Chains A and B, each alone.
Chain A
Amino acid sequence: MDESSKKKIHDELLTLLSQKLPSDTIVDKITKIIESEIRKREQQYYSTLDAHVEELSKTYEEISALFEINNLLSRTMNPSERLDDLATILRHTIPFREIAVRLKLQNDTIEFTKSFAKGANKINKAIEYVESGHEHETVLVEPSSGLGDLQHLLSVPIKSGSEHWGYILCADRESGIFTAADRKILESAAQQIASAVERFLRFQEELEKQRMQEQLQIARQIQSRLFPRFLPRFSFVSFNGYSSPAIQVGGDYYDILVRKDDMLVAVADVSGKGVPAALLMTSVRSALRSIAKFHVDMRVLVRDLNKMLLEDLQDERFITMALAQIKKDGETRLINAGHPPAIVVSNNSVKTLHASCIPLGLREDLDCKVQITNLRKGDLLVIYTDGVIEARNEKGEEYGIDRFSELILKNGHLSAEEIVKTIQRSLTEFMGEMPLHDDTTVVVLKYLGENIPS
């Protein structure tokens, strides 16, 4: 009891006693004085208790909000799908009229706004203000901030570490100004959204990686089935080839076809990568194999092959191809459709057979010039894909056609198999630690002469 109350009671009692009243009246009056004091104290006590309970209730509300937000976001994969529920939970503890969330996830921008009061119309102004350079900071606007119409705004960035994903803002409080407690809650909500976003993006990445792996596996399987499993043997040529897929699996393809009086060698490169390229290779292979049986004329063969492929091709895809027909007497007819130059080594010199038309699959009326060479005993024909000459070393230099033809010329005396091995070794050495960025395919063919018995 404070001194003034004590003195007041003291004075009241003195006055009472000085009045010389009957003793039961005095007792009665003293009881009333005490009762009134107790009532006053009770009222004080209850109003303090009420204030405490109100504070407690608010804290309980905040804890429950954080708990529920955590619950909500941990049960969902994509946080942007649960923003509506999040807004409802938050509103139980922060009495805002409008709320907005902006999230930038990879290529997606999520724009969420919700109004909890009819006629609320401050949200666009609030967004405009935050997006005028305040997205990365906590913004607290009060009427005294002097922003005109915009009197109540609380905005918190959604970020984790150095990554900034967006912001969450509340506009227009139902009563009073946004408080430090409101800010804490919103910051905590933003933090939980950021964690959920990170989790979501990691999951997406994993998923994408897994999908790529599966695609790659499929593409590799398709591609590996396309190459000739057993190389046929001929009396007039020896040959060898290899194809090594890049990490991404491109669209390289090579094939050797035996016919009655001659043989065909094809090396092709399909545009694109992965499963679509692998599937297109399958079409090239079956188209070539089916029509190669009926055509002797190379020009007609390529023309018809192009027509067949055009039916299968979609969008901007195309196929570069070098196709050579080698007869027993060494006469070689080669068509180069947009493919890197074929290399002929004859009599210790190198000749390159450049493309004489555009790649297959681009236009209906493809007409390719046939390039004729007469191979003599010991001559080489080398066909390959651009992955070989475009291979790069750690300094960023290209392997290049000059280095390639020189290597072949220098090793021309070796067997086809040994030449292929030499090429592989040379490429590996050149590239060092660099990965293959494109498939590389090489076919080496050595003419042995017509008269060797089979």
Chain B
Amino acid sequence: MAHILVVDDSEVLRRIVVFNLVKNGYTVSEASDGEEALQKLKESTPDLVILDIMMPKMNGFEVLKVMKQDENLSKVPVIVLTAKGGENDLQEGLKLGADIFLTKPFSPGRLIEEVQRVIDNG
């Protein structure tokens, strides 16, 4: 089964995402900030990353930048979760190679649909 890394500093939100992913049969690992995310990415390459943008230590954009420069990680699809849905976030995320944007509060049902679509296409 596909393996997904969920990166979000909000534990509640992470639990909601993980709960829905597990319910739909995915294997999940978690990280609560950018640095931890990179650590987890080094340990094993997931099939998909769900990435929050506003995080302490290292934000989502920086994680994305590092991923896209890494030979191993550059092809891993990324779903970005943004709090504001601002035009700037969207522009920057697209420039950095994010695949899908969801604005908080996002629909968990919609997230699962997007995850299925990305993984089926991969």
Query: Which residues of A are at the interface with B, using a C-beta cutoff of 8 A?
Result: 50, 53-54, 56-57, 60-61, 63-65, 67-68, 89, 91-93
The distance in angstroms between the C-alpha atoms of A162 and B16, with both chains bound, is 41
| 6 further A-B pairs in the complex, CB-CB below 8 A; given A60-B108, A92-B110 | A56-B12, A56-B15, A57-B19, A61-B107, A64-B106, A64-B107
Give CA–CA (A264, B106) in the complex, Å. Answer: 79
| Chain A residues with CB under 8 A of B20 | 57
Report the separation of the CA atoms of residues A60 and B19 in the bound assembly, to the nearest whole angstrom. Answer: 12
Interface residues of B, CB < 8 Å — how many?
A: 12
A contacts with B: majority SS: helix
A65 to B19, Cβ gap below 8 A? no
Q: Which residues of B contact A64 (CB under 8 A)?
A: 105-108, 110
CB proximity of B57 to chain A, nearest CB, Å = 25
Q: Which residue of A lies closest to B106 (CB)?
A: A64
B residues sitting closer than 8 Å to A (CB atoms) are 12-13, 15-16, 19-20, 105-110
Q: Which has the most chain A C-beta neighbours within 10 Å: B12, B16, B107?
A: B107
Residue of A nearest to B19 (CB): A53
Which residues of chain B come closer than 8 Å to A53, judged between CB atoms?
Answer: 15-16, 19
Residue of B nearest to A50 (CB): B19
Which residues of chain A have C-beta atoms less than 8 A from B108's C-beta? 57, 60-61, 64, 92
Identify 30 residue pairs between A and B in the complex whose beta-carbon atoms are under 8 Å apart, listed by A's number.
A50-B19, A53-B15, A53-B16, A53-B19, A54-B19, A56-B12, A56-B15, A56-B16, A57-B16, A57-B19, A57-B20, A60-B16, A60-B105, A60-B108, A61-B107, A61-B108, A61-B109, A64-B105, A64-B107, A64-B108, A64-B110, A65-B107, A68-B107, A89-B107, A91-B109, A92-B107, A92-B109, A92-B110, A93-B107, A93-B109
Cβ–Cβ < 8 Å partners of B105 in chain A: 60, 63-64, 67
Which residue of B is nearest A92, CB measured? B109
Task: A92 to B109: give the CA distance in the assembly, Å.
Answer: 5
Chain A residues in 8 Å Cβ range of B13: 60
User: 8 shortest A-B CB distances, which residue pairs?
Assistant: A92-B109, A64-B105, A92-B107, A64-B107, A53-B19, A57-B16, A63-B105, A53-B15
Min CB distance A213 to B, Å, is: 37
Give Cα A412 to B12, complex, Å: 95
Q: Which partner residue on chain B sits nearest A59 by CB separation? A: B16
Bound together, the chains give a CA A175 to CA B16 distance in angstroms of: 21
* A57-B12 Cα distance, complex, nearest whole Å: 9
Residues of the B chain whose Cβ atoms lie less than 8 Å from the Cβ of A92: 107-110
Residue numbers in B under 8 Å from A91 (CB-CB): 109
